[in-house]
Amino acid sequence: MLERTLVIVKPDGVRRGLVGEVLRRLERAGLRIVGLKMLHLSRPLAESLYAQHRGKEFFEPLIEFMTSGPIVAICIEGDNAVSRVRALIGPTNPAEAPKGTIRGDFGSNVRENVVHAADSLQHAQREIALLFREEELIS
Ligand code: IDP
Ligand code: MG
């Protein structure tokens, strides 16, 4: 099924010059970039993006991290894009992520893991709407 999903190059990835590497891997996998922008997340937007984690012990430091510098938001389209992008980025903890995945190759620790990707079609639709206006996406 043709799906759209949201990918974010997190502040650590932008600081370390990994934006091009992430885009290259997405494109090489045959996925299509339909939206792309750099921005600095506001605290309310970061909290909304990670609303499902509110109350967990890692929530506050996660919000501090995600608002610590600019991010790059990428809207990706392709067949089964949600699960394919999750496979490309690898598990949350880089120590457990296989080589060849973005987190396995570049992640520093379980918080600073270079990229975010939506984990379901429902979350993808919600997250894309949080970061992109309709007219910012290619049809
Ligand atoms: P995901 O990014 O692989 O979907 P989630 O469980 O949704 O992982 O967690 C969201 C983000 O919160 C992670 O990518 C990571 O930055 C941070 N995080 C998750 N678990 C921990 C933890 O145990 N310690 C510190 N940060 C965490
Ligand atoms: Mg998640």
- What's the pLDDT tens digit per position in 5-52? 999 999 999 999 999 999 999 999 999 999 999 999 999 999 999 999
Q: For residue 91, which atom of ligand 1 is closest to its CA?
A: 3
Catalytic member of 40, 53, 116, 123: 116
| pLDDT at position 123 | 98
Q: Is residue 85 part of a domain?
A: yes
| pLDDT at position 78 | 98
Which residue is listed with tokens 């979350």?
123
Give the closest residue (by CA) to ligand 1 atom 26: 111
Any idea what the CATH number is for the domain that residue 124 is in? Answer: 3.30.70.141
| pLDDT at position 8 | 99
Beta strands in 18-121 (DSSP E): 32-39, 71-79, 115-117
Ligand 1 pocket at CB < 6 A: 53, 58, 62, 92, 110-111, 113, 116, 119
Q: Is residue 139 part of a domain?
A: no
The dihedrals phi and psi of 117, each to the nearest 5 degrees, come to -145, 140
Q: Is residue 92 part of a domain?
A: yes
| pLDDT at position 92 | 98
**Structural domain that includes position 84:** 2-133
Q: Is residue 138 part of a domain?
A: no
Q: Is residue 59 part of a domain?
A: yes
Q: Give the Cα separation of 18 and 81 in Å (integer).
A: 21
Please state the domain count of the chain. Answer: 1
What is the pTM for the complete model shown? Answer: 0.98
